[in-house]
Structure 1
Amino acid sequence: MAELQDELHPTTEVTALDELPLDEPSAIEPPASAPDPDLLERAHALLTAHPVADGYSGLPWALRLLPWYDLEEGESAVDTDVPRLREGHVRALFCSLHLPEGLTVNRAVAATLEQLDLVRTVIAAHPEGLRLARTAGQVIDAHACGRTAVLLGPATAAALDDSLGLLRVLHSLGLRVLTLTGTSWASEAGLTRFGEEVVREMNRLGVLADLSAASERTSARVLATSKTPVLFTRSAARALRPHPANLPDDLLAELGAAHGLCMVPLTAEQTGPTVRDVADHLDHVRAVAGPRCVGLSGTYDVGTAHPQELRDTSCYPHLIAELLRRGWSETDLALLTWGNVQRVLRTADFTARAAQERREPSTAQIAELDG
């Protein structure tokens, strides 16, 4: 398992050194000092009351690669297990059903269903630590029972195979988030008429739209169409780091006006190699979009490097200690870790109940609207 872990997750230190020019030793930034013990104690106390809702985990696909695992006892071959979730105060975890690059389109539906089935099997095998949740209320119930609530998604839009019926089937199995990119109806050209109908049906079901990696045209149209807040599950501030998945300030401002949620990933590639870099992005998103529109996305178990101080799901207290050092209030921290995700889930639940009273399930076909 150790060999597999090394293959999937190169350490931040090795990745950073490989990329540095040999004639610039000064470019190697020393690791941030250990957090102040008092700040770390305050961080643990705050997270006990306001735990972490982690917006993106690649655990399902990582587990597919393991011949055997035990998340209750601890599993060194992945970044996420029950002991580390508890140590990091993670009480809600969005499990990605995204597909790896290179998988053929005609396998998208089956592969997504297989991952969804795997997550449900994993939850059933670890009942003392994990619990499947579909609604905001079920997330709170799981937390009250000492479990981490697992929410299914985001899934790739290709899994719908252009069928609203499949969207409803996936929702009935627990799907909560869908990424609107990579299809003919949600592309670089924007959202088509059928794409708008998909968004309306998602609103009726309570499935949240994820716009990470979506085109600006698609993002703008979804923001205008959706009656529920949208998510960017893996996006930081482009003003600080010009990664294509990071958001420009004008889009962050629009997201804030729409009461959506930008979930900042804890990855070296998108935010930087230290915990302070991640905190810089959180500061920036909070300043531009507002404190009610920023969240956390561990983005663990996806094969990317993380800051040394944020190596796995147990390390969230280190990030909160850094934000406390910067003067973040307990109110803003409670929104960041837990409150904003709960607001979005509650709003989607309420909107879905209201929509189901006035709108029948859509029977629209892509050929009818986009043909």
Structure 2
Amino acid sequence: MADLQNDMSAKPEVGEIGGVPYDPFPAGPHDDGGARDEALERAHALLAEHPVADGYSGLPWALRHLSRYDLEQGEAAVDTDLPRLREGHVGVLFWSLHRPEPAGGGRAVAATLEQLDLARSVVDAHPEGLRLATTAGQIIDARNCGRAAVVLGPAQAGALDDSLAVLRVLHSLGLRVLTLTGTAWAGEAGLTRFGEEVVREMNRLGVLADLSGASEATVGRTVAVSRTPVLCTRSAARALRPHPANLPDALLAELGRAKGLCMVPLTAEQTGPTVQDVADHLGHVRAVAGPECVGLSGTYDSGATHPDDLADASRYPHLVAELLRRGWSETELSLLTWGNVQRVLRSADFTAKAAQQRRVPSTASIAELDG
């Protein structure tokens, strides 16, 4: 454990302004022609020290459909490229391995492996801008080197094919987030006994549970079983907008008590058509779950429509400027953009290291536990 702590001690954490010696994500031509206002200036300064951890990016799937692309020079066919990541001060992206199209013919495992292979090849092709990361410490290392860290996941739980061995293989290939929906063991009735074993094995490996779109019963049971905080990678406040993936206040409060993380999506469908609507949702989640339990989810390149002024990954400073105008403190904003994700990832790292000393890999099967 000491080695892991040393690995992650290179940078100051939340609430510290001025601790980073340089900005690896320098500002670009941010505005639409006019001079930046004071809030936007402050937003850029804050994000230079506490960059954005983006909880959901569909870039791998979007690139799959392009015959050629250049993320280093800029790519107009997608919402995300390296110039826009730098302009938006994005330090971490969770790359979704979800497929917008169903994987028919029992190809869920193969389809996820194909997505993993594509994601890794994109990172390998852009070594000056991207770096694969599997731990909180590696994310900080990537930032120190001026790269945006890529965390692989979420993937769909169907990719396991009801096998804990497949989960271990996917983890060995870099998977760090799994969405617990769409299976017989994580459904409307909640987790089955096998589903609980999946969560325990995820804890042992350091794979985080994503509960966006899961039933209330699954959310409640996963929060109770998991020894690490859970994520909702694309969930806003249902009290403000009644979308099925948004969370009611009772679940937001439960997530807050468990120190989980609700990552509010920047989509018109879930949060509304304006940057002010997104700010409303962030404020509501902060009030109900607490400032340590709210994060950001760009959901760029996922096919979603984005609010005005948040069209691509370069626009995060405009959202942070709106929050500054509303009275968010620098400490709260540093938690929102960077600190909360680091906390959750650190928790997963520490829990996995401890669990591996007392728990052997599970050989349980769905037939054995749920049959």
Give your verdict on TM over 0.5: yes
Structure 2 equivalent of residue 139 of structure 1 = 139
Q: Secondary structure at the match of 1:269?
A: helix
Equivalent residue pairs, number: 338
Structure 2 equivalent of residue 197 of structure 1 = 197
Structure 1 equivalent of residue 235 of structure 2 = 235
Structure 2 equivalent of residue 185 of structure 1 = 185
Structure 2 equivalent of residue 174 of structure 1 = 174
1:41 has 2:41 as partner: yes
Task: Kindly provide the amino acid, as one letter, of the partner of residue 78 in structure 2.
Answer: V
Structure 2 equivalent of residue 332 of structure 1 = 332
**CA deviation after TM superposition for structure 1 residue 308, in Å:** 1.9
Contact kept in structure 2, 1:35 and 1:322, CA below 8 Å: no
Distance (whole Å) between structure 2 residues aligned to residue 237 and residue 170 of structure 1: 32
Gaps of 5+ in 1: 1-33
Contact kept in structure 2, 1:35 and 1:321, CA below 8 Å: no
**CA deviation after TM superposition for structure 1 residue 329, in Å:** 0.2
What TM-score, normalized to structure 2?
0.90
Distance (whole Å) between structure 2 residues aligned to residue 121 and residue 96 of structure 1: 15
Task: Kindly provide the amino acid, as one letter, of the partner of residue 139 in structure 1.
Answer: I
* Alignment deviations for residues 106-162 of structure 1 (CA, whole Å, 9 cap, x no partner): 111111000100010000000000000000000000001000000000000000000
Q: Secondary structure at the match of 1:151?
A: strand
Task: Kindly provide the amino acid, as one letter, of the partner of residue 248 in structure 2.
Answer: P
Q: How does 1:2-81 map to 2 (within 5 A)?
A: 37-81=37-81
Gaps of 5+ in 2: 1-33
Q: How does 1:307-322 map to 2 (within 5 A)?
A: 307-322=307-322
Structure 2 equivalent of residue 5 of structure 1 = none
**CA deviation after TM superposition for structure 1 residue 103, in Å:** 2.5
Q: Secondary structure at the match of 1:310?
A: coil
What TM-score, normalized to structure 1?
0.90
Distance (whole Å) between structure 2 residues aligned to residue 352 and residue 151 of structure 1: 17
Task: Kindly provide the amino acid, as one letter, of the partner of residue 127 in structure 1.
Answer: P
* Alignment deviations for residues 152-177 of structure 1 (CA, whole Å, 9 cap, x no partner): 00000000000000000000000000
Distance (whole Å) between structure 2 residues aligned to residue 48 and residue 328 of structure 1: 17
Distance (whole Å) between structure 2 residues aligned to residue 133 and residue 73 of structure 1: 23
**CA deviation after TM superposition for structure 1 residue 101, in Å:** 3.4
Higher fraction of helix: 1
Structure 2 equivalent of residue 246 of structure 1 = 246
Q: Secondary structure at the match of 1:92?
A: strand
1:268 has 2:263 as partner: no
* Alignment deviations for residues 63-122 of structure 1 (CA, whole Å, 9 cap, x no partner): 111000011111000000011000000000000001223331611111100010001000
Task: Kindly provide the amino acid, as one letter, of the partner of residue 266 in structure 2.
Answer: L
Contact kept in structure 2, 1:105 and 1:158, CA below 8 Å: no
**CA deviation after TM superposition for structure 1 residue 189, in Å:** 1.6
Contact kept in structure 2, 1:131 and 1:147, CA below 8 Å: yes
Q: Secondary structure at the match of 1:166?
A: helix
Task: Kindly provide the amino acid, as one letter, of the partner of residue 366 in structure 2.
Answer: I
1:289 has 2:277 as partner: no
Structure 1 equivalent of residue 218 of structure 2 = 218
Distance (whole Å) between structure 2 residues aligned to residue 51 and residue 96 of structure 1: 20
Distance (whole Å) between structure 1 residues aligned to residue 214 and residue 228 of structure 2: 17
Structure 2 equivalent of residue 161 of structure 1 = 161
* Alignment deviations for residues 295-354 of structure 1 (CA, whole Å, 9 cap, x no partner): 000000011110120000000000000000000000000000000000000000000000
Distance (whole Å) between structure 2 residues aligned to residue 95 and residue 115 of structure 1: 10
Task: Kindly provide the amino acid, as one letter, of the partner of residue 68 in structure 1.
Answer: R
Contact kept in structure 2, 1:99 and 1:108, CA below 8 Å: no
Q: Secondary structure at the match of 2:213?
A: coil
Q: How does 1:72-111 map to 2 (within 5 A)?
A: 72-104=72-104, 106-111=106-111
Task: Kindly provide the amino acid, as one letter, of the partner of residue 115 in structure 2.
Answer: Q
**CA deviation after TM superposition for structure 1 residue 36, in Å:** 5.7
Distance (whole Å) between structure 2 residues aligned to residue 165 and residue 320 of structure 1: 42
Residues 97 and 311 (structure 1 numbering): CA distance in 2 closer, same or farther, change over 3 Å? same
Structure 2 equivalent of residue 8 of structure 1 = none
Q: Secondary structure at the match of 2:39?
A: helix
Q: Secondary structure at the match of 2:181?
A: coil
Residues 332 and 370 (structure 1 numbering): CA distance in 2 closer, same or farther, change over 3 Å? same
Percent identical pairs in the alignment equals: 79
RMSD: 1.0
Distance (whole Å) between structure 2 residues aligned to residue 253 and residue 112 of structure 1: 33
**CA deviation after TM superposition for structure 1 residue 38, in Å:** 1.1
Structure 2 equivalent of residue 27 of structure 1 = none
Q: Secondary structure at the match of 2:277?
A: helix
